[in-house]
Structure 1
C-alpha cells in the first residue's frame, strides 16, 4: 500500500488540511473517515443525512466512490474538495430498489421518498468493505517554520550585493588616487645625467670618449622616455578609474 499526499478542503475552503492517504482504498470509504476526522456535519438543517463526494478542485472532476485514489489518477499535491450532498436515501426500504437523486418516489413500488428512504437490506448491497484506520492518515507537516522563505533569502542576497556594490566603487576610487600619486612621484625620479663630450690630444682617445658619452646619453634619453611614459600611463589610468567608479557610486 502506498500513500499519496493531498490537500483536503471542505466546500467553503475553511478547513484546509494535508493528509497522506492510502491509494488502494476506495474513495467512498476514505470520504467517510475524513468526514469523521475533520468533523464535518453528517445531518442537514432539515434533518436529512448529508453525503459527501470528492471533487478535484482544479479540474472539477468528481471521484467515484468505487474508485481508489490510484485509479482516479490522484497525485501528490492535488487538492480535493469534500462537496456535501443532502440526500433522502439511497435505496427503497420496501423493495430495495435504488432511488436516484432527484426522484420523488420509488421507481419500482411507487412509495414516496420520505417513506422509502433508508438503505437496502439485501445482502448483495451490503458488501463488506475493508476497514480503514483513520489514525494511519498521516498529516503532512508544513516546513515553513524550519526553512527561511524565498523572499527572505532574496532580501538577504540583495542586501549583501548592495553592500558589495558600494565597497567596490570606493575601492576603485582609492586605487585610482594611488595610481595618480605614483605617476606624479615617477615624474620626479632622476634616472641619471648626461655625459659631456671632451677633446684630448690624441684623436683616438677623443673618439672613444665621445662614443662612450654618446652611448650613455642615448641610454639616459631612453630611460627618460620610459619613465615619463609609464608616469603618464599611471596618471591616465588613475584618472579614468576615479571618474568611472565615482559615476558608479553616484548611481547607488
Structure 2
C-alpha cells in the first residue's frame, strides 16, 4: 500500500441519538387562567415540564396548527376539520363603563339600553357579531386594552366577556352583565392528528380524572401511588365460627341471647366418670 492510498475505514455502528425528554406546551388566550390545571399537572407528572405560551385569540389556531404548542385554551369556534375541542365553559358578556355612568346604578343591562351610547368595537373582539349594540365609534381601537383606555377617558363603552373585563380592571371603571347578546365560550383544543400521550394526559387533568382513573394513561413519569390494602379473603369455616360464637354470647347474655339462638340445641356435656 503506497503512502497515497487511504485504508478503508472499518464500518462502525452509528452512535444512537438519545430520545428527547417528554414535555408539554400549553397555549392560552387572554382571560383564561390555567393555574389550577398547571398545578395538578406538576403534581401528577413532575418528570414532564409544562411550558405556558400566552397568545392572542386570533393567533391561537395558527400556533396550534404550526406545532408551536401541543394544546391550548382557545375561544370557540375552531376549525373542526383540523382541531379537536372540549368545550369548558361559556362566559357572561358585560359592558364596561365608568363608575359614575348611569349604567353602574343597575344590576344588568339590555342591548336596547345602549342604543344611544358609543360602544367601541376593537379589532381583537372575540364576540361573534358584526358589530356591538349602540352607536359605532369613528374608528375601531386596535386592541381591547386600547378600548378600555378610551372608556376610562369617558368617550364610550365597551362590551367584552367578563374575564377580559377583570383582566383589564381599573379602579375608575366597573362593569354590568349585558343580556340578549352573544357570549364567548372557552375550550381545550389541539390538532386532531397530533393527539400525543401528553395531550391525553392533560385531557384527563382538565376533565378531573383521578390518577387511578381507568380512562387515564399510566406513564413511566407518573408518580407511584400509595398501594391500596388488599382485601382479606374469608377463611374457611369463619362463618361457622361466627355462628357458634354468637350462640355462646347468647348463652352468656341471658334471656336476650336466648332469643337469638331460639331452636338451637346446645351440645350435651358428659358427666365425668368416677375413679374406682
Which structure carries more helix by proportion?
Answer: 1
TM tier, shorter chain?
under 0.3
> Which has the larger Rg?
1
| TM-score, L = length of structure 1 | 0.23
Which structure carries more strand by proportion?
Answer: 2
User: Structure with the greater relative contact order (CA < 8 A, sep ≥ 6): 1 or 2?
Assistant: 2
